[in-house]
Amino acid sequence: MKKLFALIAILSIFVFGMSVNVVAQDQTEAAATEEVTEAADSVAQATDSIVDLTADPVEEAAVAAEEGKSLHSQLKQKFIEGGPTFMSFVLIALILGLALAIERIIYLNLATTNTKRLLAKVEDALNNGGIEAAKEVCRNTRGPVASIFYQGLDRYDEGVDVVEKSVVSYGSVQAGLLEKGLSWIALFIALAPMLGFLGTVIGMIQAFDAIEVAGDISPSLVAGGIKVALITTVTGLVVAMILQIFYNYCVSKIDSIINSMEDASITLLDMVVKFNAKK
């Protein structure tokens, strides 16, 4: 009997130990499962926060776009903040200056001529058809160089000296036509920043008047007045820089055309002298 009780006790202890191990293992697995779950929740929360952080700028950009924060609206807002009076004068200077510059650019591009080809045609016409054929070539060619050639060839009967004087005189006339309107563009280049500075000075005076009326120097009042005053200066400087680019392009184009006119005129006089010597 004692052996039986001992065997039963041993079996009971063994079974109890197995159950305890199973329970402990289950608890360990449950704890591990809870830790994994908590870690997954943490990762999910971190991912959600990262997504929120990356989504916020996009949403803000969409909201800003919906609110009309485009370049056009910002320029319009700055125009209103700078004061319609002086900003309108600066804008008029920009419009008139651009109109004159575009007109000059179109005129100068149309006045550009391939002088080498024209000289070749005139020389061929002189050798084959004489002065009248050369005049016809010049009459059918567009540009100031062809006009100078025509005026010189038209006075061939009066002598080579008269041809030279005609070319020089009419060359000065054509140079004046090329430079027409540049003085007005230069005027608007100088006038735009002056109008901007004038608006700034008047804006500063108004800001100090507001300070005097308020009796206190408020940072918001001073900063707002100065910002509004400086907008006109910035606008005037930007307008002047834009017009200056177009002005320099026109000047360089005119210099190129005048140099071509002078070189071609000298070559024409040489051809006329040779043609006169052959007669």
- A 10 A CB-CB count for 194 gives 14
Q: Which residue has the tokens 């990762």?
A: 43
Q: Using one digit for the tens of pLDDT, what is the confidence trace for 260-277?
A: 998 998 888 888 888 777
Our measurement of the distance from residue 263's CA atom to the centroid of its chain's CA atoms, rounded to an integer in Å, reads 36
Segments of the chain scoring below 50 in pLDDT? 1-33, 35-36, 39-40, 43-44, 46-59, 61-68
pLDDT at site 246 = 95
Q: Which amino acid is at 17?
A: G
Residues 171 and 42: their CA atoms lie apart, in Å, by 86
The answer to whether 243 touches 187, Cβ cutoff 8 Å, is no
Nearest of 247, 250, 202, 245 to residue 226 by alpha carbon: 202
Residues 42 and 126: their CA atoms lie apart, in Å, by 95
pLDDT at site 41 = 56
On the 0-12 / 13-18 / 19+ scale of CB atoms within 10 A, 262 is: middle
Q: Using one digit for the tens of pLDDT, what is the confidence trace for 18-27?
A: 443 433 444 4
Q: Kindly tell me the sign of the dihedral angle through the C-alpha atoms of 163, 167, 168, 173.
A: positive
> Residue 101, CB half-sphere, CA atoms under 13 Å: how many?
23
- A 10 A CB-CB count for 156 gives 19
Does the model's pTM come out above 0.85? no
Residues 61 and 56: their CA atoms lie apart, in Å, by 8
**Residue-level length of the chain:** 279
